[in-house]
Structure 1
Amino acid sequence: MTHRPLAGIVAVAALTFALSSCSKANSPSFLDTIDKNKKVTIGVLPDQPGLSQRVGEKTYAGFDIDVATQIAKQLGVPATGITFVPVTGRDRVATLTSGKAQLVIAASPAPAEKNSAITASNPYLTMHDDVMLLSKDKKTKQKSNVAGKKLCVLPGSAIPADLKAKPAPTKSISECLVALLNGKVAGAFGKDAVLAGYAQQNPGRFKLLGLNGTATSYSIYLPAKDARAKQKVDSALQKMVQDGTWKRMVTTRLPMLSNTRTAAKP
């Protein structure tokens, strides 16, 4: 298995900041509301082990939840003032634009271009394409070993041509994992942090190949044109990295990715 620095698996992008202009400082922001009532509503995924998973009627756990809690703290909101609402990949932007949430932390890809519907923070997480295998698989040790084998694919991912693997269609992540456990596929293809979450939920059954494939950066979504909120959130992310909080959260929530790796620096 290939090991690489945490910066190559789960990395906070370079967090650089500039002082806001006076006009930005006085512009409308959802920060005005939370400054008054010390409450914030945050959209999160309900079904991603390790990242964001509902563990009770109104309780969530995972790396994204830890990030959300730390950001809220930096905005002056205690943990008791946070309301988490479930979102999906399809409705996370609509949840934000409709006002049902003031922040969305839900493995949301950093927009390649400016999106007029949202404001995106600096990336807080970077995932790489990888393959999850059965722990007992001793033959698949590197990328070339996957050629010609069947891989089920997690939603939102696509097997690159250079992997030379055969995609096996499945309707859901759970169906993909069952196919892997039953030997119908050789592995599951997707983003490493997502795969690691499922592997950690099933101790001893799965492992990651360590492809260090295509990287995708993820951002926190904020209301459109809210420059003040973006500056505050970006500053909170930078502080988390600088004081070691970010590293500790990765180690706690995604130990499969962090045990032998060092933290990224801003």
Structure 2
Amino acid sequence: MHMRTAGAVLATGAMALGLAACGGGSYANVAEKVKDAKEITVGTKWDQPSLGLKKGGGDPEGFDVDVAKAVVKELAGGQEVKITWKESPSSNREALLANGTVDMIVATYSITDARKPKVTFAGPYVIAHQDTMVRADASDIAKATDLKDKRICQAQGSNSYKRITDPPPDGKLDLDAKLVGASNYSECVQKLSGGNLDAVTTDNFILAGFAAQEPTKYKVLNDPFTDEKYGIGLKKGDKTTCEAVNKAVTTLWQNGTMTQLLQKWFGKTQGLELPTAAPPAEGCA
């Protein structure tokens, strides 16, 4: 733990001397890189339908991908920017930012107090709510509190399971559920399909994307019990870019872009109530 803390301090100090940009060059911050070099490396999920899903050799597609494109274009003053996409699994997001592999991450990245010492978060750009998905024929789980003694997924790098099993402030329900490990939520859904899990519980947008792929196979309980503030992750200390991204997010809500993107990717999901206004910014301290 002490070694990680020291590494974070060194990384922050290095930023003060100049941020090494992916692909060459040196810039004081990511916002400057976008304006001057017209390029950026963005981390997204590649395995989450409707949020960030990569098919074949093309670019990833989904709500988070489109949000990233819109934010980057705002940062560039409306000019086109070359975006290199990097897969950013939940377990690797902090490391990818700290070592400069990516310039920003837009990947269902909930803003939490535990993550703030390692990451500078812009946003949130939208607020999701944790919910629960079960097999369509499940009759013994109708609400989140029914997960007591049930098998739920523990996706690597995700905090969602803690909302079920831990007490506040990190948790929510403090239930004795049985944890089944998985590398990501795609594997969680596979295990749910195979009968190795009773439920997958995480953000409703994530669940909606998977449920939409096989609507007769799964059902989302529509029993939300948390607020998950999706932020845009930046290297710790990049306050200038954070403030610029917050302005971009405000503009995208004001001009209707965010509403259009939510409708595009989630408008057909039954029972999913979509946000209609921009969430308050967290601040870039």
* Mapped pair 1:264 → 2:265: no
**Corresponding residue of 1:224:** 236
Distance 2:277 2:92 in 1: 31
Question: Offset of 1:253 from its aligned partner?
Answer: 1.7
**Corresponding residue of 2:165:** 160
Consecutive unaligned residues in structure 1, runs of 5 or more: 1-26
Distance 1:114 1:138 in 2: 37
% identity of equivalent residues:
25
**TM-score between the two structures when normalised by the length of structure 2:** 0.71
Distance 1:144 1:95 in 2: 35
The residue type equivalent to 1:264 in the other structure is: A
**TM-score between the two structures when normalised by the length of structure 1:** 0.75
SS at match of 1:31: helix
With over 3 angstroms needed to count, the CA separation of the structure-2 counterparts of 1:72 and 1:142, relative to structure 1, is: same
- Which of the pair has the greater relative contact order for Cα pairs under 8 Å at 6+ separation? 1
SS at match of 1:123: strand
**Corresponding residue of 1:40:** 40
Distance 1:56 1:49 in 2: 14
Distance 2:115 2:200 in 1: 32
**Corresponding residue of 1:6:** none
**Corresponding residue of 1:18:** none
**Corresponding residue of 2:73:** 73
State which drifts further: 229-238 or 116-125: 116-125
**Corresponding residue of 2:50:** 50
Distance 1:49 1:262 in 2: 19
With over 3 angstroms needed to count, the CA separation of the structure-2 counterparts of 1:259 and 1:90, relative to structure 1, is: closer
Question: Would you say the 8 A contact 1:130–1:210 is kept in 2?
Answer: yes
Matches within 5 A, 1:1-266: 28-76=28-76, 81-112=82-113, 115=116, 117-137=118-138, 140-143=141-144, 145-147=146-148, 149-155=150-156, 156=158, 157-158=160-161, 159-160=164-165, 162=173, 164=175, 166-167=177-178, 169-172=180-183, 173-183=185-195, 185-255=197-267, 256=269, 260-261=273-274, 263-266=276-279
Distance 2:80 2:232 in 1: 18
SS at match of 1:42: strand
Consecutive unaligned residues in structure 2, runs of 5 or more: 1-26, 167-172, 280-285
SS at match of 2:210: helix
State which drifts further: 52-61 or 179-188: 179-188
Question: Offset of 1:72 from its aligned partner?
Answer: 1.1
Question: Would you say the 8 A contact 2:126–2:278 is kept in 1?
Answer: no
Distance 2:105 2:236 in 1: 12
Distance 2:204 2:75 in 1: 30
Distance 1:65 1:116 in 2: 25
Q: Deviations over 1:144-172 (max 9, x none)?
A: 55555444444422223747564252435
Aligned residue pairs: how many? 240
